[in-house]
Structure 1
Amino acid sequence: MRRRVLLGPLAAAVGLTVVGGLGAYALAGTGGGCSGDGTLTLAVAAAPDVAPAVARAVGRFNDDGNEVGGKCVRARVSATDPVAVATLLSGRGSAGVTQKPDVWIPDSTLWTKLVQGTAGNQAGNLTDLGSMAGTPIVVAMPKTLAGQLREKGVPAQPSWEDLLRAAGTAENSTKDPADGEGRGGIPRRLFRLQVPDPNRTATGMGALTLAGTLLSRVQGGEALFTGAVRTFREGIAASVDAEFTAFRKERGERYPVALAPEQAVFGYNARRPAEPAVAVHPAEGTVLLDYPVVNLSRDSAKGRASGLLMKALTSAATRDDLRRLGFRTSDGTAPPQFSASNGLDPRGLHALSTPPPAEVRRTMQSWARLSLSIRMLSIIDVSGSMDEEVAPGVTRLQSTISTAQGGLSLLPDDTELGQWVFSTRLQGDQDWREMVSVGPLGERLGSSTRRQLVLSAFAQMRAKEHGDTGLYDTVMAAFDYMKRTYKPEFVNSILLWTDGRNEDPGGPSLRATLDVLRREYDPERPVPVFMFGYGRDVDVAELREIARATRGEVFVADTPGQVQEIFLKAISRRVCAPNC
């Protein structure tokens, strides 16, 4: 069916006129009905993708001459980005909307829950009258890619975990032992994930809450969520439309794959692009964008009028309009035009429940912290005891370096990282030595990038024979350096690896070290110290006191496997820093 047949009736009925550059539009064709001083007018703010159908419903509503308390009721519609209304209702200022609408139709209940979970909530009365439409968040991929995965035996409904693992493999990470393929048979480095900004779209926010919900059920979920956030962060798109613009794969590039509403896939394919999209529904289920109709007015008459409008928004005529736009009904029933030929699965879907307001707020707070770039000083103990074997042919230092190398591959190029080593008297009387200065991993320093220099530094590290552990001096020097060079646009932290306890009799005492750290700690410029204790000789109490003074944490491991596990856990602690 051609696009003019599918969308023509709605496009002809609705005219969009920009009234503000930040997301609000006035809609023509909203009907007549009544006007004048005796008219009760409802201001309706509708998400842009559903606004054409809302405008037609409002036109019919206005023409019907509805009354409340002897007053004629009329509605006026604006197509408004949900983030603009949510910003106003949350008390965070204005993003193009300065007046609270009487009726709000965002694309997802996630917006209302986010507003309810905000301390500065200005919404007042917020009554959800029900859903008027639905569209699930799907994995939209080029038809060519979908065919390749099918030929490789990848299930038609792969798991979210397999998709995220395949998409999140860094270009510079080590080769996967399964001959280049991740779990579920999905080849690594075949595609890159695109996600619309979670701060501005329900699709992005829904993808985050989905990841949080699914990963909370598995062991090590906090660390896995950190990895998912990193994958999302690297693939942020300006909008859903921008995701599909990138569906033009150049030779040698990874295929673009988008997290997008199913309805957007329908709209994209209706334009008959050179590379159509296929909407993939992952096995575990997905988040349904449910288009709630929300009464925001404290006025009882407007409340009753909103109830009358809701009937028009859920009428058979409106459902037909919504189906022509590619929306499912609120119970998930697909439009009749969905088929494999246009990349859309008409079968029912498994919609995961929407989390409560507090969980939505926590997820977005985690995103706000984890999506910040990292600025980190890594410090590795090279005292003599690090040369002891912890596995056949593997020393404690080699195991530590291997873990650090794996961690390095997870960090994007805009991460600022530096590398020190420490023991005793490594540089004159100084217990530490800088091997690579702190700066962006992607920055070129001579003929190499900083990332390459850090990898080279790992290869050069050797345990100092008979070297002791100058822990206190090193911690104070590192803390002083990171505080002096603090950058507020980054999460600043220190990661220190050691297998022992302070053994520098000529250095400061523990009490003197703690006094300095407590005095110099600034909650406005936090630099938490994360301590990695490796082995049975670690003084955990000593490390814990140092970490506590800087709002950091201690992680202790006895085996190489535990070292790798706790490293990922430590990185994920950035969710709560500096208040862990």
Structure 2
Amino acid sequence: MNGRDDVPEWIPKNREPAGRAVPPGRSGGPGRPVPGPFRPRPPARPHLAPPRPAGPVRPPARPPGRHTAPGGRHTAPGRRRRGAPFWGPMAGAAALSVLAGLSVFALAGAGDCGGEDAITLNVSAAPEVAAVVTEAAGRFNDAGHEIGDRCARARVTASDPAAVSTLLSGRGVAGVTERPDVWIPDSSLWAVMAQRPLSGGRTAGGDDVPIVPRRSLASTPIVVAVPGTLAQRLGAQSGAPPSWAELLTAAGATGDDPAAGAATTRIPPGLVRLKVPDPARTATGMGSVLLADELLNSGGGGDAGFTGVVRTLRESVTPSVQAEFASFRRDRQGRHPVALAPEQAVFAYNGRGPAEPAVAVYPSEGTMAMDYQITLVGAAGSGGGGDDGKAQAARLLEEELTGERTRGDLQGLGFRSPSGKAPGAFGGQRGVDPRSPRLLPAPAPADVQRIMQSWARLSLGIRMLSVIDVSGSMEEEVAPDVTRLQSTVRTAQGGLSLLPDDTELGQWVFSTGLEGGQDWRELVSVGPLGERLGSATRRQLVLSAFARIRAVHEGDTGLYDTVVAAFDHMKRTYKPEFVNSVLLWTDGRNDDPGGPSLKETLDRLGAAYDPGRPVQVIMFGYGRDVDVDELRQIARATRGDVLVAQTPGEVQKLFLQAVSRRVCAPSC
């Protein structure tokens, strides 16, 4: 507490005046208060404008003088700018288009710079900064830069950074078809995802197109946005901000039981629900996954812990940051939203005067920041100037984009400076703290790509056939009044609760001669757990099947026949949008004299395995009698794995490890 009130220090206080001062040179005059953030000038009404007088239609954008581009020629002082009066309407139209989610093009102020000889920079900017970038491009165009005997101009498009990254990587087209010369994504992580390593330590996008990072325009950290009422409730218990571990545990994102952790967290179980913008489409979501990996590595969570977090994040994904705030209220169960979001989005949301304002929480472990880095692409980033002059024009545009006027405009929208300095409007009314949060080191590019590849695999749905051994030896007790089969079924039941409804699961049992001469029996067919089959869902049918599973007293272990049949079934019904696998639980070795030999089994699996349609067999051994070498050979034939538990306590841990095989599938 701060000694003045009962509001904890981590909840932002009122520190700002009612309005903010406009920097000199901005419309409104020096120091004139403006009630809200910067907005581009509204459209003019050309049909009411008076006739233009003779002479220049507007004063020069800079004091009269001579503008020289590197390697270029001078432009005459007071050069006339045809077309300049349309910049005001263009700025307003740009802002409206951005707010509507549309792409905008700005050639405002380009004057007589046109034709085939003009050097045109195609600029692609993240939608939330596109209006400010458009204004800066207009000032660049007004300056009349010439390189050699050619004029330079900029054209701005508001584009989804994920779509541009996909285009530059050469992986395909996702809504953007024109490659930019200057790219301003919300995070430099997108440039990392677009690149691949070349010889000599260089990197480039698809077709070896140079992608060169330059300076940042602004920054905004990833924060936890919580409703103000929840922030007050949490803050009343302690003056320290909640940690990532507390927030993720309370939301069930760490693989821990929130109820079990209630004694060590200030957030009661069932109080919050997590909201994360899609990591495949947003830098905030991508940064959240990277944060989770960093925190788990520092805490020793490893792949199994990462799998647990991704499971919960996947169920909490929203399409965008805007979608998080569209339903920023308690649900029918009384849970408060906990949204991972950019700080600037909290500032903007509160600026709209919502009934339930948001408070940005800055977890104690630190966070990551989005950096809006200017990135030069292709000839603009070649560094040599080239015959087309785009590299020189891009450097001149960069100076305008990183100038004080552009920075002031961005701060009016709630962005910090690249160094982390907060705008003067930050404070309690906008739910954001002007103090600089602790930032974690940026991950290495190779780690970014590795972690996001892991996310891509883990966020694929699971399609699994579970096959449980019910031979007579599964009746052996492994704990007081607990048989090996009972322990296995309990683990499978617990694992079922971890799987979302879109998981496709089926259940078999096996011994010898269960169905005439067949060693296996299908209890539930493979399909979505949430699918209704008659009066019950598949999940309910699987739970019911678990309750009916009994060991066959005189049954032996028909392992080889069963594993081949299960593999063939999953390959025959393979679905590429899922990770397809067989999880076979057994306590021993094959003892079916009428079945195939180990060599015949391995030959059949090896011949049937298709890297283009991979099906992994994961062998889950349980007990002292397991022939690990035999199981390992079977698993290796399908790029699978073997996990062996000796006690009931090891079974649950190894089950999550089995699911986490998706991190490296199919190349494990």
Same fold (TM over 0.5): yes
- Aligned partner (choices 381, 386, 400) of residue 474 of structure 2: 386
Name the stretch that deviates more: 30-39 or 553-562. 30-39
Q: For the residues of structure 2 that align with 1:204 and 1:245, how far apart are their CA atoms?
A: 17
Q: For the residues of structure 1 that align with 2:263 and 2:157, how far apart are their CA atoms?
A: 46
Matched, 1:338 2:426: yes
Q: For the residues of structure 1 that align with 2:418 and 2:334, how far apart are their CA atoms?
A: 38
Indicate if the aligned counterparts of 1:129 and 1:307 stay in contact, CA closer than 8 A: no
Q: For the residues of structure 2 that align with 1:276 and 1:123, how far apart are their CA atoms?
A: 47
Q: For the residues of structure 2 that align with 1:566 and 1:351, how far apart are their CA atoms?
A: 34
Indicate if the aligned counterparts of 1:414 and 1:441 stay in contact, CA closer than 8 A: yes
- Structure 1's 211 and 117: CA in aligned 2 closer, same or farther, altered over 3 A? farther
- Aligned partner (choices 119, 122, 126) of residue 47 of structure 1: 126
Q: CA deviation at 1:39?
A: 4.2
Indicate if the aligned counterparts of 2:37 and 2:414 stay in contact, CA closer than 8 A: no
Q: For the residues of structure 1 that align with 2:315 and 2:646, how far apart are their CA atoms?
A: 34
SS at structure 1 position matched to 2:519: strand
Residues 267-282 of structure 1: matches in 2 within 5 Å? 267-282=348-363
SS at structure 2 position matched to 1:242: helix
Residues 308-347 of structure 1: matches in 2 within 5 Å? 308-347=396-435
Indicate if the aligned counterparts of 1:34 and 1:73 stay in contact, CA closer than 8 A: no
Q: CA deviation at 1:9?
A: 3.9
Q: For the residues of structure 1 that align with 2:605 and 2:525, how far apart are their CA atoms?
A: 22
Indicate if the aligned counterparts of 2:253 and 2:313 stay in contact, CA closer than 8 A: no
Matched, 1:24 2:103: yes
1:145 counterpart letter in structure 2: L
SS at structure 2 position matched to 1:344: coil
Residues 258-273 of structure 1: matches in 2 within 5 Å? 258-273=339-354
Matched, 1:507 2:595: yes
- Structure 1's 55 and 148: CA in aligned 2 closer, same or farther, altered over 3 A? same
Q: For the residues of structure 1 that align with 2:306 and 2:291, how far apart are their CA atoms?
A: 10
Matched, 1:149 2:234: yes
Per-residue CA distance 1:235-265 (angstroms, 9 max, x = gap): 2212211111011434335333222111111
- Aligned partner (choices 175, 181, 184) of residue 105 of structure 1: 184
Name the stretch that deviates more: 185-194 or 312-321. 185-194
Residues 268-417 of structure 1: matches in 2 within 5 Å? 268-298=349-379, 300=385, 301-417=389-505
Q: For the residues of structure 2 that align with 1:258 and 1:457, how far apart are their CA atoms?
A: 38
1:78 counterpart letter in structure 2: T
Per-residue CA distance 1:145-171 (angstroms, 9 max, x = gap): 3233334x377532323322322369x
Per-residue CA distance 1:520-577 (angstroms, 9 max, x = gap): 2222222111001112211011001111111111111212222222111110111222
Per-residue CA distance 1:207-241 (angstroms, 9 max, x = gap): 12222222233334211111222222212212211
**2:543 counterpart residue number:** 455
Matched, 1:571 2:571: no
Q: For the residues of structure 2 that align with 1:177 and 1:464, how far apart are their CA atoms?
A: 38
CA RMSD of aligned residues (A): 2.7
Q: For the residues of structure 2 that align with 1:350 and 1:14, how far apart are their CA atoms?
A: 37
Name the stretch that deviates more: 124-133 or 54-63. 54-63
**2:579 counterpart residue number:** 491
Q: For the residues of structure 1 that align with 2:496 and 2:263, how far apart are their CA atoms?
A: 20
SS at structure 2 position matched to 1:216: helix
- Aligned partner (choices 177, 181, 203) of residue 262 of structure 2: 181
Identity %: 62
Indicate if the aligned counterparts of 1:117 and 1:357 stay in contact, CA closer than 8 A: no
- Aligned partner (choices 187, 190, 196) of residue 271 of structure 2: 190
Residues 161-176 of structure 1: matches in 2 within 5 Å? 161-168=245-252
Q: CA deviation at 1:67?
A: 4.0
Structure 2: 5+ residue runs without aligned partners? 1-17, 21-33, 43-90, 198-203
Q: For the residues of structure 1 that align with 2:498 and 2:239, how far apart are their CA atoms?
A: 27
Residues 77-226 of structure 1: matches in 2 within 5 Å? 77-117=156-196, 121-122=206-207, 124-151=209-236, 153=237, 156-168=240-252, 178=260, 181=262, 184-226=265-307
Alignment TM-score, normalising by the size of structure 1: 0.92
**2:113 counterpart residue number:** 35
Residues 412-561 of structure 1: matches in 2 within 5 Å? 412-561=500-649
Give 1 or 2 for the bigger CA radius of gyration.
2
- Aligned partner (choices 73, 93, 97) of residue 15 of structure 1: 93
Structure 1: 5+ residue runs without aligned partners? none
Q: For the residues of structure 2 that align with 1:110 and 1:206, how far apart are their CA atoms?
A: 8
SS at structure 1 position matched to 2:166: helix
Indicate if the aligned counterparts of 1:57 and 1:312 stay in contact, CA closer than 8 A: yes
- How many residues in Structure 1 have an aligned counterpart in Structure 2? 574
Indicate if the aligned counterparts of 1:297 and 1:303 stay in contact, CA closer than 8 A: no
SS at structure 1 position matched to 2:542: helix
Indicate if the aligned counterparts of 1:27 and 1:79 stay in contact, CA closer than 8 A: no
Q: For the residues of structure 2 that align with 1:255 and 1:195, how far apart are their CA atoms?
A: 14
Q: For the residues of structure 2 that align with 1:25 and 1:176, how far apart are their CA atoms?
A: 46
Name the stretch that deviates more: 540-549 or 559-568. 559-568
- Aligned partner (choices 296, 311, 325) of residue 230 of structure 1: 311
Indicate if the aligned counterparts of 1:182 and 1:188 stay in contact, CA closer than 8 A: no
Indicate if the aligned counterparts of 2:19 and 2:425 stay in contact, CA closer than 8 A: no
Indicate if the aligned counterparts of 1:22 and 1:95 stay in contact, CA closer than 8 A: no
Q: For the residues of structure 2 that align with 1:501 and 1:515, how far apart are their CA atoms?
A: 18
**2:35 counterpart residue number:** 5
Alignment TM-score, normalising by the size of structure 2: 0.80
SS at structure 1 position matched to 2:332: coil
Indicate if the aligned counterparts of 1:92 and 1:120 stay in contact, CA closer than 8 A: no
Q: For the residues of structure 2 that align with 1:81 and 1:571, how far apart are their CA atoms?
A: 33
SS at structure 2 position matched to 1:505: coil
Name the stretch that deviates more: 523-532 or 55-64. 55-64
Q: For the residues of structure 2 that align with 1:123 and 1:276, how far apart are their CA atoms?
A: 47
1:165 counterpart letter in structure 2: T
SS at structure 1 position matched to 2:601: helix
Q: CA deviation at 1:414?
A: 0.9
Name the stretch that deviates more: 250-259 or 409-418. 250-259
Per-residue CA distance 1:171-226 (angstroms, 9 max, x = gap): xx998653x83852322332222222222211112112222222233334211111
- Structure 1's 253 and 516: CA in aligned 2 closer, same or farther, altered over 3 A? farther
Per-residue CA distance 1:84-117 (angstroms, 9 max, x = gap): 2212211123333322222111111101111113
**1:240 counterpart residue number:** 321
Q: For the residues of structure 1 that align with 2:162 and 2:240, how far apart are their CA atoms?
A: 33
- Structure 1's 2 and 398: CA in aligned 2 closer, same or farther, altered over 3 A? farther
1:247 counterpart letter in structure 2: F
- Structure 1's 144 and 45: CA in aligned 2 closer, same or farther, altered over 3 A? same
SS at structure 1 position matched to 2:425: coil
Q: CA deviation at 1:82?
A: 1.2
Residues 63-78 of structure 1: matches in 2 within 5 Å? 63-69=142-148, 71-78=150-157
SS at structure 2 position matched to 1:78: strand
Indicate if the aligned counterparts of 1:14 and 1:56 stay in contact, CA closer than 8 A: no
Indicate if the aligned counterparts of 1:534 and 1:557 stay in contact, CA closer than 8 A: yes
2:564 counterpart letter in structure 1: M
Indicate if the aligned counterparts of 2:38 and 2:413 stay in contact, CA closer than 8 A: no
Indicate if the aligned counterparts of 1:376 and 1:492 stay in contact, CA closer than 8 A: yes
Q: CA deviation at 1:405?
A: 1.7
Q: For the residues of structure 2 that align with 1:256 and 1:455, how far apart are their CA atoms?
A: 31
Name the stretch that deviates more: 354-363 or 366-375. 354-363
Q: For the residues of structure 2 that align with 1:558 and 1:266, how far apart are their CA atoms?
A: 54
- Structure 1's 107 and 182: CA in aligned 2 closer, same or farther, altered over 3 A? farther
